[in-house]
Amino acid sequence: MTAPLDGVLVADFSRVLAGPMAAMTLADLGATVVKVERPGVGDESRAWGPPWTARSSAYYECANRSKYSVALDLADPQDRARAITLASRADVVVENYRPGSLARFGLDYASVSALNPRAVYCSMTGFGDDAGRDRPGYDFLVQAVGGLMSITGDVDGEPTKVGVAVVDVLTGKDAVIGILAALAARATTGRGQHVQVELLSSLLGGLVNQAAGFLATGVPPGRMGNRHPSVVPYQTLRCSDGPLAVACGNDGQFERLVGVLGRPELANDPRFTSNSDRVAHRDELIPALELRTATLPAAKWEALLSSAGVPAGLVGDVGNAIARADGFGLAPTLDLGDGEVRQIRHPVRYSDSAVGTAVRPPGVGEHDALVHAWLDGDDDAVLPRRSV
């Protein structure tokens, strides 16, 4: 089977997380990705540890497998010429520089598209290229100003960030969607285009029902801890040894829940008959459920409820999550060989397309000699993709 993006060349001028993650996803799909890094120091996330790996940090390596690394100083005329050559040959260019800053190097969209009209050029910013152009785009900052922190955390607690750089992740995935859409359009038009994604726009798109609720009412949602604003019970319940996550999305699941708990009469109580009733009487229902869940350990309730078709699960840590995914047959990790640290695999599986065998993330400028020779030589020279 052939990888979906076999033969596609990506010039990755991005760093930290959103851009590198988008470019790595393209590498997972078979593209040849050349990552341009600053000589000596490379991508700043290489220094974001602990934890550390043999070459850099786990943070850097989570988003940079299966790439070539070439160190280019864009202020140096020879290196700048190489960077322009790379962009002129690329099918896709990914960058997350401050808006307008690449123009002085001849690497902005206008300059690249003039040399390479087929290039799909993806720019990633925090707040766009207009009034927000000079604001730095960091995930934590966007979680704050974008409203995510205002709906995360305990009701009476401090606004809280999500425990992972979720805005960068959303933006990276949006970038891949945009790039693939532009490549599909190019197959018809023969021309590339400028794909623009912003951290703030991706976050707002990811707020889904919470943003829709504000637009419908004009009232900003607030923090509810583990509770759901529109579905009950859809939260953690107290068990004898800790919390259990229960997610009843319909009346049938609620009926089965209270049956397993030994309180079947609650399903016919007019306060709890429908989801809207349960939302209105949440403060009466949850204590009644916890009187029963507190009598047994969470694992026991998970087994009983899952067997009855009630969505329920232990609140585990990341290690538990990987182990459970493995137990479900999802094969969640990749072995990169040679004693390398395992990584989480590409999350999509395909019936008729191959995903390349991942190759370890590169050291800074690890492929300088090979990439320089390719850029300085014959235009018809081929740079093999790293994932095979």
Half-sphere exposure of 19 (CA within 13 A, CB side): 32
Q: How far is CA 92 from CA 95, 120, 176, 327, in A?
A: 10, 5, 11, 38
Cα-Cα-Cα-Cα dihedral sign, residues 49, 53, 55, 57: negative
**Helix, strand, coil percent content, the chain, rounded in steps of 5:** 40, 15, 45
First-to-last C-alpha distance (Å) of the chain? 11
∠ CA 315-317-321 to the nearest 5 degrees? 90
Is 134 among the catalytic positions? no
Do residues 240 and 302 touch, judged by C-beta distance below 8 A?
no
Nearest to 333 by CA among 370, 358, 311: 358
∠ CA 121-126-128 to the nearest 5 degrees? 65
Query: Phi and psi dihedrals of 282, rounded to 5?
Result: -55, -45
Among 12, 28, 91, 168, the active-site one is 168
The beta strands (E) that lie in 171-250 are given as: 194-198, 234-238, 243-247
Instruction: Please name the residue that has the structure tokens 């120091």.
Output: 41
d(C-alpha 281, C-alpha 278), whole Å? 5
Please give the positions annotated as active site: 168
